[in-house]
Structure 1
Amino acid sequence: MQDKISASYRDWLADQKMPKGKRAAMLSALELFSKQGYDGTSTMAIANHAGISQATIFKYFKTKADLLEAILKPMINNVLPEYREAFLAGIPATKTLREAVHFLVRDRYQFLLKNQEVIMIFLTQVMTNADTRTMFQQFMRETAPMFINTIYGTLKNSGSLRDDLSPAAVLRTLAGQLISYFIQRQVLMPEIKADENADLQLIEDQIVRAISQG
């Protein structure tokens, strides 16, 4: 079964028509916010990294907060919905629970990797920024029923899913394992070499043991 490669925020940004200076500011902010944090990055640092002046940044964004919003809003309003539609439509028919888990793990991890910069910004901001949290909560209210019906339904159709687990519990098991591994690789131990294929296989094994009937 071929693994599906998901949408990229950078690809989406590259397709947008905008002035060169604005794009440079957004790309530099994307990189620096993800590495240094929003609070640890000044507009001067963004300007220097982008090779533009602070005046250029403020020409397009009144404040640093506006620049952050310009990065995160497209992720929530454009990239995530596009990924959601393609992901749900592309889930293959599988005969076994393990095949379904394999697809879900590989697809979702590829999405995290291809969007690691904006995901890192998002993970920190959703915990500390009320506006970001509100945007994400709205997206989840719209998305949760779709994911639960489609993903849980796919797993249920395998005939091997535990009957005592709710759809939310199953999805929490899937997402929790992947996000924990992503944070470990990108934040906690990025310098340590790892065999990601082997690690993801182990994650698949753990998920299958947790949600299968036995």
Structure 2
Amino acid sequence: MSTLKICPVCASDNIVKETSKKDFVEIKGEKIELYSTVTVCQDCGETFASLKDEMELINRAREIYRNRHGIPSPGQILEFKNRYRLSLRDMEKLTGISFKTIDRYLKGSIPDPSNSTLLKIFLNFPYVVYKFLCDEKFSSEKYNFSRKKASEAIPFKIISYKTDASCSMNPVYHISQENEKKWTKTTSYTTSSLTA
């Protein structure tokens, strides 16, 4: 709520508080339409908004933009960071996105398309997280919890690792019975549709 008592344009004290008005905020070249709360002077018709109200409007527009384009929100990124107990430096090591950039995303900035895609992969595919956490740069004991959390989220179990001549690790998978039923159902549907 505004604490404005006198209009800075006409010096009138006849100010109406909390009026709603249609606003447009441009995010990455796209106009987002939403309503904002402003203070209006009844004498000259000038409208005013506090910096806090303007920031809230921008944050709401960013959220609408994120939802339209399927971009991870600051809350989703923070939840991922906390789930695996990663610091910003660990996130940088894992994703290749600088820790300062990740910090900006956590504060509400919109990721560029390539970083957005990369973050979506890490957020939605725990096997990718697990595979990266098995890398040499995550070999310390510090990351045992993170690896365990990632492996628990994978819908299949990793039985063992086989190492080939190039020293790359290739896991052997075991699909759980529930996922095997889904897989069989999908496969038989696909196979029958191809043969028909």
**When the two structures are superposed, what TM-score results if normalisation uses the length of structure 1?**
0.23
- The structure richer in helix per residue is 1
Larger radius of gyration: 2
**When the two structures are superposed, what TM-score results if normalisation uses the length of structure 2?**
0.25
Higher relative contact order (CA 8 A, sep 6+): 1
- The structure richer in strand per residue is 2
